[in-house]
């Protein structure tokens, strides 16, 4: 599988079923397109096993909860969707992307609780890395350069950067 990501052979799991890759589309007026109401997990699959796959599914659900966007699937259902898309695309070493978003619905504004929360899982071939990247934790500062006050609501997670 190669080429542009919107023009490939294979299948993507969307809202409970496999759809042909090229037909896995989202409407232009989806809430996520205008207000960034989406969450995702990027996962690696080695020899048919997703590294920490269940933990990724749990984190995806928690990310949705934190955005007040409850994802209508359980972690076990998300795990099964990932396995289904890997099998449908005959992949053993792959990158797996699960993404949930607020779709098009009755609301088009910041608040969109009436809009459906949708879920898709895609996977594509990804050759395992042979060299070990150098990674380190980066500290976070506010845009004006001042250190943030360490409060629960403002303390971001420590991002990682590979250099």
CATH number at residue 60: 3.30.470.10
Give the least confident one: 15-19, 94-98, 145-149: 145-149
Count CA atoms closer than 13 A to 83's CA, side-chain side.
9
Mean pLDDT of the chain: 86
Confidence of residue 107 (pLDDT cuts 50, 70, 90): confident
Pairing of strands 160-162, 117-125: unpaired
Q: What is the pLDDT of residue 85?
A: 98
- Whether 161 maps to a domain, the answer reads no
- Whether 152 maps to a domain, the answer reads no
Joined together, the tokens standing for residue 36 give 């960034």
- Whether 45 maps to a domain, the answer reads yes
Instruction: Give φ, ψ of 60 to 5 degrees.
Output: -60, -45
pLDDT digits (tens, 9 = 90+) for 13-63: 999 999 999 999 999 999 999 999 999 999 999 999 999 999 999 999 999
Q: Are 98 and 82 in contact, with CB atoms under 8 Å apart? A: yes
Q: What is the pLDDT of residue 161?
A: 38
- 100: domain range? 11-130
Q: What is the pLDDT of residue 112?
A: 87
Confidence of residue 97 (pLDDT cuts 50, 70, 90): very high
Give the span between the Cα atoms of 9 and 29, in whole angstroms.
26
- Whether 40 maps to a domain, the answer reads yes
Give the least confident one: 74-78, 86-90, 126-130: 126-130
Most confident of 55-59, 64-68, 155-159: 55-59
- Whether 142 maps to a domain, the answer reads no
Query: Whole-model pTM?
Result: 0.77
Q: Which residue has the tokens 């496999």?
A: 18
Q: Are 12 and 1 in contact, with CB atoms under 8 Å apart? A: no
Q: Which residue has the tokens 């042909």?
A: 20
């Amino acid at each position: 599988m190669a080429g542009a990501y919107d023009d490939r052979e294979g299948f993507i799991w969307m809202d409970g079923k496999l759809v042909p890759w090229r037909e896995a589309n989202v409407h232009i007026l989806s809430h996520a397109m205008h207000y960034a109401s989406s969450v995702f997990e990027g996962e690696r699959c080695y020899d048919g096993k997703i590294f920490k796959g269940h933990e990724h599914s749990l984190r995806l659900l928690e990310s949705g909860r934190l955005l007040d966007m409850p994802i209508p699937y359980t972690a076990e259902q998300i795990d099964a969707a990932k396995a289904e898309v890997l099998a449908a695309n005959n992949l053993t070493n792959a990158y797996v992307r699960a993404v949930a978003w607020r779709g098009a619905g009755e609301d088009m504004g910041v608040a969109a609780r009436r809009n459906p929360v949708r879920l898709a899982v895609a996977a594509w071939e990804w050759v395992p890395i042979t060299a070990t990247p150098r990674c380190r934790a980066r500290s976070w500062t506010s845009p004006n350069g001042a250190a943030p006050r360490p409060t629960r609501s403002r303390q971001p997670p420590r991002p990682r950067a590979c250099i």
